[in-house]
């Protein structure tokens, strides 16, 4: 009888662990998906307005200004990303004569992964 009780407890603990493990992962994925659905500008405005915590009277005046700067920040982010990409391509070409084919391929694969992340919708 003791073995049956211990086995029941062990199974319940394992089931609880597995349920907790998978539900935690699903909640984290849900939060990340929710965050990625918002555009860069929306996140910029939300974050800035959250820091300022404007009164209802101020909100109408401040929102257009913050939205304008959100657009400017996105453009700057795109320009920096493009400039960095060009710089990395230039560096890779300068390094190519000194690298083995395997080393150069690793460098190019890393650059492709970076570009694919940078090309995600903003």
Residues 46 and 16 in one domain: no
CB atoms under 10 Å from CB of 44, counted, come to: 20
Q: What is the count of structural domains for the chain?
A: 2
Say how far apart CA 19 and CA 14 lie, in whole Å. Answer: 9
Residues 113 and 66 in one domain: yes
pLDDT tens digits, 25-56 = 778 777 776 665 568 888 889 999 999 999 99
pLDDT at 118 over 70: no
**Residue span of the structural domain in which 2 resides:** 1-37
Residues 70 and 91 in one domain: yes
Between residues 33 and 23, the one the model is more confident about: 23
pLDDT at 60: 92
Between residues 87 and 115, the one the model is more confident about: 87
pLDDT at 120: 57
Residues 10 and 66 in one domain: no
Residues 51 and 74 in one domain: yes
Between residues 122 and 43, the one the model is more confident about: 43
Q: What is the DSSP string of the chain?
A: -HHHHHHHHHHHHHHHHHHHHHHHHHHHHHHHHHHHHS-HHHHHHHHHHHHH---HHHHHHHHHHHHHHHHHHHHHHHHHHHHHHHHHHHHHHHHGGGS-HHHHHHHHHHHHHHHHHHTS--
pLDDT tens digits, 53-106 = 999 999 999 999 999 999 999 889 888 888 888 888 899 999 999 989 999 999
pLDDT at 29: 76
């Amino acid at each position: 009888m003791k073995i049956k009780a211990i086995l029941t407890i062990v199974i319940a603990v394992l089931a609880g662990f597995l349920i907790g493990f998978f539900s935690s992962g699903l909640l984290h994925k849900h939060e990340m998906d929710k965050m990625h659905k918002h555009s860069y500008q929306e996140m910029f405005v939300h974050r800035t307005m959250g820091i300022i915590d404007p009164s209802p009277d101020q909100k109408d005046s401040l929102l257009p200004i913050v939205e304008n700067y959100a657009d400017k920040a996105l453009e700057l982010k795109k320009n920096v990303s493009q400039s960095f990409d060009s710089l990395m391509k230039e560096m890779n070409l300068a390094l190519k004569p000194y690298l083995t084919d395997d080393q150069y391929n690793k460098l190019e694969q890393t650059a492709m992964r970076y570009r694919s992340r940078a090309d995600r919708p903003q």
